[in-house]
Amino acid sequence: MTTPVKLLDFITILPVIFLAAWACLLLLVDLWVKHKRVTAYLAALGLAIGLGLLWYQAAWIGNAGFNHMVVLDGFSVFVNALLLLSGLLGIALAYGYLRRMGIERGEFYPLVLFSLSGMMLMAQAADLIVVFLSLEFLSIPLYVLTAFAYPKAASEEAGLKYFLLGAFAGGFVVYGIALVYGAAATTALDGIIAAVAEGRANLSLLVSGAALILVGLGFKVAIVPFHMWTPDAYQGAPSAVTAFMSSAAKLAGFAALVRIFALAFSSLSDDLIPILWGLSALTMLVGNLLAIPQTNIKRMLAYSSIAHAGYILMAFTAFGNPGVAEVSIAAVLFYLAAYTVTNYGAWGVVILLERAGDLGLEIGGYAGLGRKYPALAACMTIFMLSLIGLPPTLGLVGKFYLFRAVIAADLIPLAVIGVLTSLISAWYYLRVVVNMYMRTGDPEISPEPWALTITGLMAILTVLVSLLPGWLFFLASQARLNLF
Amino acid sequence: MLFSEAMSTGFFNLAPLVVLFPGIGLLFNMVFGGRLPEKVVGWVASLAVGAAFVISILLAVSLSAIHGHAEIVSVTEWMSIGSLHLDWAFRVDTLSVAMMLMVSGVGTLIHIYAIGYMHEDVRFKGDPTRFQRFFVFMNLFIAMMMILVSGDNYLMLFVGWEGVGLCSFLLIGFWYDLDILGRPSLENAKAANKAFIANRIGDFGFLIASFLIFTYLGSLQFDLVFAEVEHVAQPVILTITLFMLLGVVGKSAQIPLFVWLPDAMAGPTPVSALIHAATMVTAGVYLVARSAPLYGTVPAAQEIVALIGAVTALFAATIAVAQYDIKRVLAYSTISQLGFMVAAVGMGAYAAGMFHLVMHAFFKALLFLSAGSVILGIERGYHAMSHGKKGHGFHHTDDEVFNPNDMRNMGGLKDRMPVTFWVYLAGTLALAGIPPFAGFWSKDEILLDASLHYPVVYWLLTAAAFMTAFYMGRQVWLVFFGKSRHEAAEKAEESPRIITAPLVILAGLSVLGGVLNLPHFHTLGHWLEYTLGELRISEFSWLMAGQATLIALFAIFLAWLLYGRREQAANEPDALKKLLGPAFVVFEHMYWIDEGYAAVFINRYKDLARFLAEVIDGRFWHDWLHDSVLAAGFGKLARFLADPVDLGLIDGIANGLADLTQWVASRLRRFQNGFVRSYALSVLLGVVLILGYLLFR
C-alpha cells in the first residue's frame, strides 16, 4: 500500500537533505578554498540554515514521510535542534584546535555535517531499516573523524578499533532487525505495533530481536559491557572530535533507542526491564569506578560519559509503564540537553589546555590553574560540579528529573545505585578541582577566542538554566513521540 | 492615542525592568568599573536606579489609569514540583508600586549623594579601589529590594528578603578590615556578622511561616493564599502570623532582635540611610501590610504586633536620649520609628503605617545623609588639623580616642556648615512631629488611630513621641549650636554640592511630604485601598493634633533648657546625666541588653559549642569512642586476625572503602587491555548474557 513520493515527503526531512547536500557542496568548495577557516564558517552557516529550516519545518509537525519510513514530531524537532546546536559548538571548538594541532584539513567540516545528517535522520526514523541506514550514515564519518589526526598512530589505532567494533555491533543490529522481521513480518514501527496488537507477532522472536537492537544502539551510546571502545576512541581521537562524538552521537543513539523502544517495543517492557535495569546499574558502577584511577583527563571524561549513559538509561528503564513513560522521556531529553551543555564546556577547557604532542592532558597538569586563570578554573569547577550533580548547576536539575522518573517507576534500588555512584563520581571530578585550586603548578593555555567563548557561555548556561529550568523542561515535555 | 493605550496596558510589561536596570548597572560596574573613572561608575549606578524610578512612575500612572487593579506580570515559570507551582512573576499593585517609588526614588538620591561621599570616604580610609565595589553592592541591594516588594509570591519575597540581608551584611562590613579612622580593626566585620546572625533568627521564622502557608493554604502565591484564609482554622493562621512576626522583628529591628541595627551603623553613611533607615528595615512593615488578609483574621496576632511595635518605639527612644554617637542616636530613633510603623500596621491602620513608612524614608534618609555630611565635615577638619600639626598624614597614634561621630567633639557647626544645618533642622522638625512637616501628619494619624482603638498603644507611642522630640532637640543643640568642643569641629568645612544637592531635595520632601496623605483627602490611603480593601481611616482631630504638637514643643523646650540655654563644655558630663543620674547610665548602655544577650544566649551558646567540641567530639567521640574503643579495639582485632588471616585482606578493610573501590577499579581496568579482540569478546559476552537471560528466565 505504497503511495507515490510527494513534496511533503521531502519537507519532513528537509534539514537532513539540506545538510547532506551542503556537505557535498562544501567538499567541492573546499578544493578552491585556501584558508580552511572559510570552510569552517561555511559549515557553521550550513548548520545555522539547518536550524532555520527546522524552524520552518516545525509547521509540518505531525506528518510522516516516505510511506512512514520517517516521521516529523515534537521529539525529532527537539533532538534535531539539539544536534544542530551541538554541531555548531563542535565546529567552534574545532576551529582553532585543528590549526594548532596541525591537522586543519578541509574535509573535517563536511564529515561533521554528514555525520550530523545521519544523526538527524536517526531521530526521525520510523522504520528499522532507516534506523540501520542512518546508524551507518552517522558512524562512518565518525570513524574517519576519530582517525583524523593521521599519521598519529594513537588516532589511527582509535579509528580502526572504533570501526572494527562498530561494524561488529552493527552486525547485531542487522541481526536484531532480521529477527524482528521474522517475528512481525515488517520493519516499520507502526507495523510492529499493529502486529503485536493483533497477536500476529511471535513474541519470543521479537524480544530477542529487540535485545539485539539494544546491543547495537547500546554500543553507540557506550553502555557497559559494550563500552570498551569508548576510552580508547575518546583518547585517541582529536579532542574536538571527542567533544562532538560524546555529545552528538550519544544524543542520536538515545533518540533512536527511545523512539524504537517506547513506541514499537513498549509491550515488551516487562521482559526488558530486568535487562535494562542490569545494564544501567552495571554502566553506572563500572563507568564511575573505572574513572577513578584515570590520570588522563580525556580518558576520565570518557568513563564519565559512560557513567552518564548509565544514568540516562536508568531513567528509561521503565519505558513501558504508561504513567511514567512521558515523564521519563522528558527527563531523558532534559538530561541530554544538560549533558550536552556541560560536556562541551568541559571539553572546551580540555582543548584550551591541550598542547601538540598529547601534552597538557594529565589531570595533574591542571594544578595551579585556579591561580593562573581563575575564570577558566571557575568554569571548569562549574562543569565538574554539574557532572557530579551538585547545585547550582544543570547537572543537579537534570539528575533531579532523572531520579524523579526512576522513583515514579518504583525502581527504588536502581535509584539508590544511581545516588551512590554519583557520590563515588564526586571523587574523581573533585580531584580536578582540587588540582586546580590546592596544588601549585604552571599550566599553559592557548587562548583561542572561539573555544574561550564557548567555554564561558556553557558555564553561564550551566548555572543560569539551572536557576530557571522550567522552560527547558517544558520544551522537553512538549517533545512528544509519535508515528502518525 | 498610542501613549494612552500603552498607559493602560503596555507599561505593565515593563515591570521586570525595575529589577533589570539595577542588575545591568551592577553587571556593568562589576565588569568595567575597575577601568572607569569614579564619576562614571557612580553615575551609571545612579542612572540605573533612576531608570527604575522612571519605570515605577510609569507603573503608577498606568495603575491609576485602570483604577488600581492589581496586575501580574509573569516572566517565566520558576518551579513546578508536585503541587507547588510558582512563576517568576511581578505583582504591580498600589502597595508594591508605593514601595517601588519610595525605594527607587530615595535610592536614586542616596546613590547620587554617595558619589560624593564615597569619593572622600575611600580616600580618608586609604583604599580608593573599593569605590567600584560599593556601587556594585548598592545596585545589587536595589535589585533585591525591588524583588522583595514586587514579587507575587512569598518565595520571591523571600529571595529579595535574603538578598537585601546579604547586601546589608556586605555593606555593614564594607570596611571589614578598617575602623572609622582607617586603622586595622575587625569591629566592622563583627557588626556585619551580628546583623547577619540576628537576621537569621528572623529568617528562620519567615521560612517556617512560608512552609506552614504552603502546607495549610496550599500555595505561596499571594492571591491564592489569601483566598484560602477563611477555610483554615484560626490557630493555624495565628501560628503562621506569629512565625512571620519573628521575621518582622528580625528585619525591622524590633524587640527582641533589634540589637543588630545600632551596630549596623558601622557601614558607610549612605548605607545607613538607604538600607538601615529608609528601605530594608521597612521590609517587615511591608510584609505585615502585604499579609493583611492573614493578620486581619486573627486579632490576637494583631495585638501582639501592635504591642511589640509600641514597646519598641518607647524603649528605643529612651536609649536614644543617652547616646553620644550622632549615628547611633539616629539608629535608635530608626528602631523607635519602625516601632511606630509596626504598631500601626499591627493595629490594622495600614494606611497610617505605610504613610509613616514613606515619610520616615524621606526624613530619616535626610537625617542620616546630613549626619554623614557632618561627619565628613569633621573629618575634613581633623585632616586639616593634623596637617597643620604634623605636615603629613592624619593617622595619629597619640590621638587614639578621636571619633568623628561623637557629638561631644562637635558643636557650633551651624555657621561652618550652613546648608547641612538647615536641612538637618528640617529633618529634625519632621521627625519631632512639628506641623506642617511630613512627620507630623503621619505620626498624628498613627496616634489618632491608637487613641481610638488601642489606648495602651496610644500612651506608649505618645511617650515615645515626647522622647523623640527631646533627643532630636538635644542632638541639634549639641551638634550645631554653642562653641566647638574640638579642634576638628572648629576647622570643619561644608560638603560639596553633589552631597548637599540630594540633601536639599530630601529636605523639600520632608517639609512637604505630608501632602501625600493630608487629612480629609487621604490620597495615599485611598490609593492603598485598591490593594488592601476598605481601610480604617480616622478623621482628623484638632484636639489630638494640638496635644501631640504641644508635647513635642515641650520636649524641644526641655532640650533647650538642658543643652541650649547654657553651653556644654568639652569634658563636662551630659546635662541630662546630672538630672537623671543612674537612669541615664542605664539608657546610655542600652539597658545592658547586649551584655544580657551575651550572658544568657551567646555565652551559653559558646559554652554549648565548646562542650560539643571538646567534650562530646573531642573527649567522647575522638578520645574515648574513636581512639579507645574503635581504634584500639580495632587494633586489637587486627592484631588478632593478622596471624591467622592473610595480611593483605586486613589492610584492605582497615584502609577503608576508599582503597577498596580503587582496588575494584584497578581490577576492572585489567579488562581494558587495548586489544580489539577482547573488546569484541566483551560485547559478545554481553549478548550471550542477555540472550541467556531471555532464554532461561
- Helix, strand, or coil (residue B393): coil
* Rounded Cα gap, residues A124 and A256, in angstroms: 8
Type of residue at A300: M
Cβ(B668)–Cβ(A286) below 8 Å: yes
Looking at residue B396, its pLDDT comes to 47
Which helix (H) or strand (E) is A399 found in, with range? helix A394-408
Contact B226/A at CB under 8 A:
no
Q: Is residue B388 very low, low, confident or very high in pLDDT (cuts 50, 70, 90)?
A: low
pLDDT of B398 above 50: no
Q: What is the DSSP string of A165-199?
A: HHHHHHHHHHHHHHHHHHHHS--BHHHHHHHHHTT
- Helix, strand, or coil (residue B382): helix
Q: What is the DSSP string of A104-117?
A: --TTHHHHHHHHHH
Interface of A with B in 247-306 (CB under 8 A): 271, 274-275, 286, 289-290, 292-293
CA-based nearest residue to B302, from B454, B524, B157, B98: B454
Contact A52/B at CB under 8 A:
no
- Helix, strand, or coil (residue A64): strand
CA-based nearest residue to B598, from B587, B610, B607: B607
CB contact under 8 A, B77 and A474: yes
Average pLDDT of B66-70? Answer: 80
Any idea how long chain B is?
Answer: 697
CB contact under 8 A, B693 and A275: yes
The single residue listed with the C-alpha cell 489630638 is: B544
Contact A221/B at CB under 8 A:
no
* Rounded Cα gap, residues B145 and B162, in angstroms: 10
Read off the pLDDT of residues B560-582 as tens digits, 9 standing for 90 and up. Answer: 888 888 777 777 778 788 788 78
**B666 to chain A: nearest residue by CA?**
A293
Contact A243/B at CB under 8 A:
no
For the record, the C-alpha cell of A114 comes out as 554528514
Distance between B527 CA and the closest CA of chain A, angstroms: 34
Distance between B645 CA and the closest CA of chain A, angstroms: 28
Nearest-5° angle of CA B277, CA B283, CA B284? 105
pLDDT of B393 above 50: no
Q: Which of B76, B661, B668 lies at the smallest CB-CB distance from A471?
A: B76
Cβ(A319)–Cβ(A267) below 8 Å: no
For CA atoms A306, A307, A310, A311, the dihedral sign is negative
Contact A228/B at CB under 8 A:
yes
Give A207's contacts (C-beta < 8 A, 6+ positions apart): A268, A271, A272, B694
Read off the pLDDT of residues A247-294 as tens digits, 9 standing for 90 and up. Answer: 999 999 999 999 999 988 988 888 899 999 999 999 999 999 889 888
Contact A225/B at CB under 8 A:
yes
* Rounded Cα gap, residues A483 and A3, in angstroms: 17
CB contact under 8 A, B676 and A474: no
Distance between B630 CA and the closest CA of chain A, angstroms: 25
Q: Which of A215, A274, A473 lies at the smallest CB-CB distance from B686?
A: A215
Contact B683/A at CB under 8 A:
yes
Q: Which of B77, B661, B694 lies at the smallest CB-CB distance from A471?
A: B77
Which neighbouring-strand residues pair with B85? B80
Number of H helices, E strands in chain B: 32, 2
For the record, the C-alpha cell of B487 comes out as 579642634
* Rounded Cα gap, residues B308 and B342, in angstroms: 8
* Rounded Cα gap, residues B425 and B434, in angstroms: 11
Cβ(B282)–Cβ(B100) below 8 Å: no
What is the pLDDT of chain B when averaged over all its residues? 87
Contact B687/A at CB under 8 A:
yes
CB contact under 8 A, A228 and B686: no
CB contact under 8 A, A208 and B674: no
Average pLDDT of B590-607? Answer: 85
Q: Is residue A420 very low, low, confident or very high in pLDDT (cuts 50, 70, 90)?
A: very high
CB contact under 8 A, A168 and B78: no
CB contact under 8 A, A293 and B665: yes
* Rounded Cα gap, residues A354 and B330, in angstroms: 60
Read off the pLDDT of residues B14-56 as tens digits, 9 standing for 90 and up. Answer: 889 999 999 999 999 988 988 889 999 999 999 999 999 999 9
Distance between A447 CA and the closest CA of chain B, angstroms: 20
Q: If phi over 0 gives left and psi between -120 and 50 gives alpha, with beta otherwise, what is residue B73?
A: beta
CA-based nearest residue to A363, from A412, A309, A300: A300
Distance between B76 CA and the closest CA of chain A, angstroms: 7
Contact A164/B at CB under 8 A:
yes
Cβ(B277)–Cβ(B264) below 8 Å: no
Which helix (H) or strand (E) is B79 found in, with range? strand B71-81
Q: If phi over 0 gives left and psi between -120 and 50 gives alpha, with beta otherwise, what is residue A151?
A: alpha
Read off the pLDDT of residues B552-565 as tens digits, 9 standing for 90 and up. Answer: 999 999 988 888 88
pLDDT of A234 above 70: yes
**B692 to chain A: nearest residue by CA?**
A208
Best of B664, B671, B679, B689 to substitute, by most chain A Cβ atoms within 10 angstroms, is B679
CA-based nearest residue to B293, from B240, B369, B334: B240
Contact B681/A at CB under 8 A:
no
Looking at residue B564, its pLDDT comes to 83
Average pLDDT of B140-161? Answer: 94
Q: Which of B78, B664, B691 lies at the smallest CB-CB distance from A211?
A: B691
Q: Which residue has the higher pLDDT, B526 or A161?
A: A161
A293: chain B residues, CB-CB within 8 Å? 662, 665-666, 669
CA-based nearest residue to B432, from B274, B269, B276, B559: B559
Which helix (H) or strand (E) is B642 found in, with range? helix B632-642
Q: What is the DSSP string of B211-252?
A: HHHHHHHS--BHHHHHHHGGGS-HHHHHHHHHHHHHHHHHHT
Sequence-ordered alpha helix ranges (H) in B514-631: 523-532, 542-559, 575-580, 582-588, 593-597, 603-610
Cβ(B306)–Cβ(B252) below 8 Å: no
Percent of chain A at pLDDT exceeding 70: 100
Read off the pLDDT of residues B327-366 as tens digits, 9 standing for 90 and up. Answer: 999 999 999 999 999 999 999 899 999 999 999 999 999 9
CA distances in angstroms from B46 to A175, B101, B109, B110, B564, listed in the order given: 71, 15, 8, 8, 40
Contact A214/B at CB under 8 A:
yes
Nearest-5° angle of CA A401, CA A403, CA A408? 95
Which helix (H) or strand (E) is B85 found in, with range? strand B84-92
Average pLDDT of A476-482? Answer: 84
* Rounded Cα gap, residues A383 and A377, in angstroms: 10
Average pLDDT of B256-283? Answer: 91
Phi, psi (deg, nearest 5) at residue B296: -60, -25
Q: Is residue A78 very low, low, confident or very high in pLDDT (cuts 50, 70, 90)?
A: very high
A424: chain B residues, CB-CB within 8 Å? 661
CB contact under 8 A, B683 and A271: no
Contact B680/A at CB under 8 A:
yes
Q: Which of B78, B666, B690 lies at the smallest CB-CB distance from A215?
A: B690
**Predicted-complex ipTM score:** 0.88
pLDDT of B516 above 90: no
Q: At what angle do helices A108-124 and A14-32 cross, to 10 degrees?
A: 170
Contact B10/A at CB under 8 A:
no
Looking at residue B642, its pLDDT comes to 63
B676: chain A residues, CB-CB within 8 Å? 160-161, 164-165
CA-based nearest residue to B359, from B426, B309, B287, B452: B426
pLDDT of A155 above 60: yes
Looking at residue B245, its pLDDT comes to 94
**A400 to chain B: nearest residue by CA?**
B81
Burial of residue B176, with CB atoms counted within 10 A of its CB: 0-12 exposed, 13-18 middle, 19 or more buried: middle
Q: Is residue B597 very low, low, confident or very high in pLDDT (cuts 50, 70, 90)?
A: confident
- Helix, strand, or coil (residue A378): helix
A169: chain B residues, CB-CB within 8 Å? 683
A143: chain B residues, CB-CB within 8 Å? none
pLDDT of A429 above 50: yes
pLDDT of B308 above 50: yes
Interface of B with A in 84-103 (CB under 8 A): 88
Best of B147, B676, B697 to substitute, by most chain A Cβ atoms within 10 angstroms, is B676
* Rounded Cα gap, residues B466 and A408, in angstroms: 65
CB contact under 8 A, B682 and A169: no
CA-based nearest residue to B423, from B376, B468, B372, B467: B372
CA-based nearest residue to B279, from B439, B373, B160, B192: B160
Q: Which of B669, B678, B691 lies at the smallest CB-CB distance from A293?
A: B669
Q: What is the DSSP string of B661-685?
A: HHHHHHHHHTT--S-HHHHHHHHHH
Looking at residue B328, its pLDDT comes to 92
Contact B592/A at CB under 8 A:
no
For the record, the C-alpha cell of B231 comes out as 477555610
Which neighbouring-strand residues pair with A65? A70
Nearest-5° angle of CA A356, CA A358, CA A364? 120
Looking at residue A127, its pLDDT comes to 94
Distance between A273 CA and the closest CA of chain B, angstroms: 11
Best of A164, A179, A221, A228 to substitute, by most chain B Cβ atoms within 10 angstroms, is A228
**A235 to chain B: nearest residue by CA?**
B674
Interface of B with A in 49-88 (CB under 8 A): 76-80, 88
Contact B679/A at CB under 8 A:
yes
* Rounded Cα gap, residues A467 and A464, in angstroms: 5
Read off the pLDDT of residues B72-111 as tens digits, 9 standing for 90 and up. Answer: 888 888 887 778 888 899 999 999 999 999 999 999 999 9
Cβ(B670)–Cβ(B690) below 8 Å: no
Looking at residue B8, its pLDDT comes to 55
- Helix, strand, or coil (residue B644): coil
Which neighbouring-strand residues pair with B84? B81
CB contact under 8 A, A226 and B694: no
Q: How far is CA B120 from the centre of its chain?
A: 25
Type of residue at A134: S
Q: Is residue B654 very low, low, confident or very high in pLDDT (cuts 50, 70, 90)?
A: low
Sequence-ordered alpha helix ranges (H) in B291-417: 292-296, 299-320, 326-347, 350-390, 413-416
Looking at residue B633, its pLDDT comes to 80
The single residue listed with the C-alpha cell 525592568 is: B17
Contact B676/A at CB under 8 A:
yes
Looking at residue A20, its pLDDT comes to 95
Cβ(A334)–Cβ(A476) below 8 Å: yes
**Letter string b/e over residues B608-639, b meaning 16 or more CB atoms within 10 A of that residue's CB:** eeeeeeeeeeeeeeeeeeeeeeeeeeeeeeee
CB contact under 8 A, B694 and A208: yes
DSSP structure class, residue B567: P
Type of residue at A457: L
Cβ(A113)–Cβ(A47) below 8 Å: yes
Average pLDDT of A181-209? Answer: 91
For the record, the C-alpha cell of A355 comes out as 598542547
What is the pLDDT of chain A when averaged over all its residues? 92
